[in-house]
Amino acid sequence: MKNLWSILILMLPLFVQANCIDKQTLFEAMRCMQAEITRLHQENQKLQGSLLEIQRMQFQMLKAENAQLRAQLQQKADRSYQVINCGSCTWEQARQDAEKRGGYLATITSEVEWQLILKTANLPDAWIWIGGTDQQEEGKWQWVTGEPWGYTRWSSGEPNNANNEDYLHIWPKHSQGGHSQGWNDWTGGAKTQYYLLEK
Ligand SMILES: [Ca+2]
Ligand SMILES: [Ca+2]
């Protein structure tokens, strides 16, 4: 009997939680508890169902995103990058020369592509034109191909539009003229020996 009371005292918080404390008899209170357990069990099943549905949707979204990234990567993997020695050319001259060669000034639209170029394009330690410009509208950068402008890898303090700089080139090495590795805006009249061709 003493044990039964001990158990009931221990269960008291549960009865209170389940709003079963006001029942007249212990039997009613226990039935109330059982009903509450059943209700909670059903609610848990519903919640688990919702959680599964959310996880299923997340899985589908990730799968779609993954497929899209794979397609982009494959598209990029199918292209080639080549450093062209133009002697001395402005960005516009480089753009036209790239077109004559059946390609275009390289566009870099992801970290994967940037790393791919750094590792495989055999870039010289130089100022190298690539296919970005904000010539049409200051500060609104665009790729020559019309690809969406999103990913950037600006060198420290760039773009600074110093002397109205509207054309994009890269510094592939950390040491280049004391500039950090990355991208820089440069003027339309500036000339350099190299550009990066993509096709
Ligand atoms: Ca500019
Ligand atoms: Ca600049």
* pLDDT tens-digit series, residues 153-198: 999 999 999 989 999 999 998 766 788 999 999 999 999 999 999 9
Predicted pLDDT of residue 72: 75
Residue 123 CA to ligand 2 center (angstroms) comes to: 20
Biggest alpha carbon distance in the chain?
102
Task: Give the amino acid at 153.
Answer: R
77 pLDDT exceeds 80? no
Rounded average pLDDT over 68-91 = 87
Q: Rounded to an integer, what distance in angstroms lies between the CA atom of residue 134 and that of residue 190?
A: 15
Residue 88 CA to ligand 1 center (angstroms) comes to: 22
Q: What is the number of the ligand closest to the CA of 170?
A: 2
Q: What is the number of the ligand closest to the CA of 135?
A: 1
Structural contact between residues 168 and 109, judged by C-beta atoms closer than 8 angstroms: no
Predicted pLDDT of residue 69: 82
Predicted pLDDT of residue 148: 94
Q: What is the number of the ligand closest to the CA of 134?
A: 1
Predicted pLDDT of residue 74: 78
Residue 158 CA to ligand 2 center (angstroms) comes to: 5
C-alpha of 186 from chain center: 27
Residue 124 CA to ligand 1 center (angstroms) comes to: 25
1 pLDDT exceeds 70? no
Structural contact between residues 130 and 168, judged by C-beta atoms closer than 8 angstroms: yes
Could you tell me the CA-to-CA distances from 128 to 38, 87, 92, 114, 198 in Å, in that order?
71, 12, 13, 14, 13
Residue 29 banded pLDDT, cuts 50, 70, 90 = confident
Predicted pLDDT of residue 121: 86
H-run or E-run covering 112: helix 111-120
Predicted pLDDT of residue 79: 78
Rounded average pLDDT over 46-70 = 93
19 pLDDT exceeds 60? yes
Structural contact between residues 175 and 135, judged by C-beta atoms closer than 8 angstroms: no
Predicted pLDDT of residue 150: 96
Q: What phi, psi does 97 have (nearest 5°)?
A: -65, -40
**Average pLDDT of every residue of the chain:** 90
Residue 174 CA to ligand 2 center (angstroms) comes to: 16
Structural contact between residues 146 and 132, judged by C-beta atoms closer than 8 angstroms: no
4 pLDDT exceeds 70? no
- CA dihedral (188, 192, 194, 199) in degrees, to 10, reads 10
Tell me the pLDDT tens digit for each residue of 100-135. 999 999 999 989 889 989 988 899 999 999 999 999
Predicted pLDDT of residue 71: 82
Q: What is the number of the ligand closest to the CA of 183?
A: 2
Bond preceding residue 159 cis, omega within 30 of 0 = yes
The CATH topology of domain 80-198 is Mannose-Binding Protein A; Chain A (3.10.100)
Rounded average pLDDT over 58-82 = 86
* CB-based contacts of 20, cutoff 8 Å, min separation 6: 28, 29, 32, 33, 36
Q: What is the number of the ligand closest to the CA of 167?
A: 1
Predicted pLDDT of residue 24: 72
